[in-house]
Amino acid sequence: MSMALLGAMLLSCSKELPLPVTLDSQVAERALKQSASVNIGPGERIIGSAMLLPNGRIVTNLHVVQHRTDSVRITLDGANFIPVKLIAKDTQTDLALFQLPPDEYSDLSLPEIADPQAGIPIFAYGAAFGLHQSYLQGYISHPERRLEKDTPHYVQTQGITCPGMSGAPVYTLRGHWVGINRAAYGYSVGTGIGLIIPASTVRAFLDQSGAEN
């Protein structure tokens, strides 16, 4: 089989775009509107990322905020910090849900959920190393990774995980929602291997928490 034919077959197996690619401006704009960074006051040091949801809800990883859930603040622009209120948390899924004040958000809708497949390019805006709305791009390396038997599965990724990216929403290049970035995997943060909480798991958490979609 020729390399040209093999390449054509691989491309035909996916509706997503190959790397490298310039992100569509509308996809980027929608993702930026759903991107936030997390701070635990006092001070202005950004410690993690979060996803904006409909009705001023915000979801992030519980491990980012679990010791100071009463002091969490969110920034949408990297400069102004807004106190938020914890309304739900779940230790098994490592998710926490917060509420913005009514005058601090605009209408949003949840993006279409992606069908994770190995090799699909993905991207995220997050607070990489504390830098608000940093753009990272990578790919799915395994669509359903279980670390232990009878435990929730993750989407394994490459290239979008580093300190500060926990809680960041992850999308395909078409703008479909893959899930929430959770953590790096391995003995070093430099491995590039990461784990995403699937969008379906996040959606179930939101439904159980009574969050409106």
Write down the architecture of domain 121-205 according to CATH.
Answer: Beta Barrel (2.40)
Q: What is the pLDDT of residue 190?
A: 58
- Quick check: 152 pLDDT over 90? no
pLDDT band at 61 (very low <50, low <70, confident <90, very high): very high
pLDDT exceeds cutoff 80 at 65: yes
Q: Rounded distance, CA 153 to CA 24, Å?
A: 30
H and E: helices and strands count for the chain: 4, 13
Q: Give the model confidence (pLDDT) of 103-115 as tens digits.
A: 777 778 889 999 9
| Positive or negative torsion for Cα 40, 129, 34, 114 | negative
Domain topology for 34-108: Thrombin, subunit H (2.40.10)
Return the SS3 of 189. Answer: helix
- pLDDT of 213 > 80? The answer is no
Provide the CB-side half-sphere exposure for 62 (13 A, CA): 13
- Can you tell me the mean pLDDT for 114-119? 93
The 10s digit of each residue's pLDDT in 48-58 is 999 999 999 99
**Band (7; pLDDT cuts 50, 70, 90):** very low
Q: What are the residue boundaries of the structural domains of the chain, listed by start? A: 34-108, 121-205
Whether 81 contacts 45, CB under 8 Å: no
Topology alike, domains 34-108 and 121-205:
yes
Binned at pLDDT 50, 70 and 90, residue 31 comes out as very high
